[in-house]
């Protein structure tokens, strides 16, 4: 175990890798172990975690170390020319091909090719790459002559490969050929003990580069540095350190100064929240639609029940007594009811359809003749055809009024994200 740790520390020192995180050490250990072999390696991790260091370690510790090492950013090469870049082309193979050209797989014969952002490769190129991995053969664009190459492939991606395979964007057989060994690098936010260490290293480097005193963080600024989410990982941390080193006159950096360089600092600090309601706008929209539909279904069922009683029973007063609560629920306007109840608690004002007569002590609506029964049924049909948009608007208005315009509380009650509620407020011009 001691020998392994010494090897890991020596490798980190050689390649300028900073940190003592266990996951980082494990990734480097795996790179050291697979280096002497020729098996393919897939490096995974978020953008900016330093995936490009792993293929360099593998190449330098392999028997190919005296061969060529070529790094290719697959996402930066246009789809129309990537086959030519990787495999070469014959003269006249396409417009502009004025001479025969060797591709990277021919040039790197006996060495290592690092395919960064391999998840961005177009499907036809994936087929060509699979052939190279299987038997070391490839065809130049515009050629029918098979060529051989002896190349070690190390690939990297920040794409969720399982999702890409499920969506048909990446070949499953190619994925398994590339990921004979998979090495995952942890995001910076999971390496909390390394964050300040990295920042100090970057600050020292930039102080030497720009010939100025090294910046230092006070205690509060250090805590902010550790709590920030670092979506851009090490690359973002390095950029922040460089910006502050160049722009700040005071070399003692305070909390407020550092905060000014961190985008969306409030939303990037860790917090205990319920992510289930804000996973996506689609999920939020679906939740509110379900709620509206369930409310509408319940109201329609109540209306059907009341209508059936009215049509079957000519004794409207009996129906009113037995269903007074339901009638008030259906026809009472909540806003008018609450406002009026404050001034006259003993009486409630009801807003009812114009062709329904209001009678009785409880102010409950009743249908007074057979003709009005059918008018009432037509009104129910109109209630059923209320649009989801009107229902949604009503729910949003009531929630905002209930919480005095506080969007966060209203959004929680509605079961949607605050961002979605803000968009709805703009949509309905509330």
Say if residue 156's pLDDT is above 90: yes
Say if residue 360's pLDDT is above 60: no
Stretch 149-153: mean pLDDT: 97
Instruction: Indicate the range of 161-170, 269-278, 346-355, 373-382 predicted with least confidence.
Output: 346-355
Inter-CA distances, 56 with 68, 134, 346, Å: 11, 23, 82
CA 59, 61, 64, 65 torsion: positive or negative?
positive
**What share of the chain has pLDDT > 70, as a percent?**
74
- pLDDT value at residue 313: 61
Stretch 291-304: mean pLDDT: 73
For residues 118 and 74, give the distance between their C-alpha atoms in angstroms, rounded to a whole number.
6
Q: Which CATH class is domain 2-186?
A: alpha beta
Domain boundaries, the chain: 2-186, 189-268, 281-386
Say if residue 310's pLDDT is above 80: no
- For residue 41, the SS3 value is strand
For residues 260 and 227, give the distance between their C-alpha atoms in angstroms, rounded to a whole number.
15
Stretch 3-21: mean pLDDT: 91
Tell me the β-bridge partners of 116: 73
189-268: CATH architecture: Orthogonal Bundle (1.10)
Q: Per-residue pLDDT tens for 365-400?
A: 444 444 444 454 445 444 544 556 777 788 888 888
Instruction: Tell me the pTM.
Output: 0.62
Q: Per-residue pLDDT tens for 173-193?
A: 999 999 999 999 999 999 999
Cα Rg of the chain (Å, integer): 34
Model confidence at 283, pLDDT cuts 50, 70, 90, reads: low
Hey, how many other C-beta atoms are within 10 angstroms of the C-beta on 265? 15
Say if residue 341's pLDDT is above 60: no
Instruction: Indicate the range of 21-30, 296-305, 307-316, 387-396 predicted with least confidence.
Output: 307-316
For residues 356 and 316, give the distance between their C-alpha atoms in angstroms, rounded to a whole number.
12
Inter-CA distances, 65 with 4, 276, 371, 374, Å: 21, 49, 95, 90
- For residue 424, the SS3 value is helix
Q: Name which residue leads in pLDDT, 164 or 311.
A: 164
Q: Are 305 and 375 in contact (CB under 8 A)?
A: no
Instruction: Output the average pLDDT for the chain.
Output: 81
């Amino acid at each position: 175990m001691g020998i392994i740790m010494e090897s890991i520390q020596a490798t980190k020192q050689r390649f300028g890798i900073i940190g003592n995180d266990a996951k980082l050490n494990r990734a480097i250990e795996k790179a050291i172990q697979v280096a002497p072999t020729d098996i393919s390696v897939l490096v995974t991790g978020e953008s900016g975690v330093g995936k490009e260091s792993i293929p360099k370690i593998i190449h330098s510790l392999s028997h190919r170390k005296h061969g060529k090492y070529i790094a290719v950013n697959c996402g930066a090469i246009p789809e129309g020319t990537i086959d030519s870049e990787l495999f070469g082309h014959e003269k006249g193979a396409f417009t502009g091909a004025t001479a025969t050209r060797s591709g990277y797989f021919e040039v790197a014969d006996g060495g290592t090719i690092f395919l960064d952002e391999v998840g961005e490769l177009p499907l036809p190129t994936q087929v060509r790459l699979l052939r190279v991995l299987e038997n070391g053969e490839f065809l130049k664009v515009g050629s029918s002559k098979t060529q051989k190459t002896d190349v070690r492939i190390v690939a990297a991606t920040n794409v969720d490969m399982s999702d890409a395979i499920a969506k048909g964007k990446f070949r499953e057989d190619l994925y398994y050929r590339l990921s004979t060994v998979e090495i995952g690098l942890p995001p910076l936010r999971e390496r909390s003990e390394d964050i300040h260490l990295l920042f100090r290293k970057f600050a020292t480097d930039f102080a030497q580069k720009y010939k100025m005193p090294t910046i230092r963080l006070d205690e509060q600024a250090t805590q902010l540095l550790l709590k920030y989410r670092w979506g851009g990982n090490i690359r973002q941390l390095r950029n922040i350190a460089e910006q502050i080193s160049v722009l700040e006159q005071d070399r003692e950096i305070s909390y407020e100064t550092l905060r000014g360089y961190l985008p969306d600092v409030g939303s990037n600090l860790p917090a205990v929240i319920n992510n289930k309601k804000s996973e996506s706008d689609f999920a939020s929209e679906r939740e509110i639609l379900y709620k509206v539909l369930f409310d509408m279904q319940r109201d329609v069922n109540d209306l059907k029940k009341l209508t059936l009683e009215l049509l079957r029973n000519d004794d409207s007063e009996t129906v009113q007594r037995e269903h007074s609560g339901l009638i008030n629920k259906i026809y009472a306007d909540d806003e008018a009811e609450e406002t009026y109840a404050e001034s006259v608690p003993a009486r409630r004002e009801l807003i009812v359809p114009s062709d329904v007569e209001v009678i009785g002590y409880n102010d409950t609506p009743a249908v007074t003749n057979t003709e009005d029964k059918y008018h009432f049924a037509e009104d129910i049909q109109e209630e059923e055809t209320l649009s989801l948009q009107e229902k949604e608007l009503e729910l949003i208005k009531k929630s905002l009024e209930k919480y005095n315009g506080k969007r966060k509380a209203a959004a929680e009650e509605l079961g949607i994200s605050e961002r979605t509620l803000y968009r709805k407020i703009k949509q309905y011009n509330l």
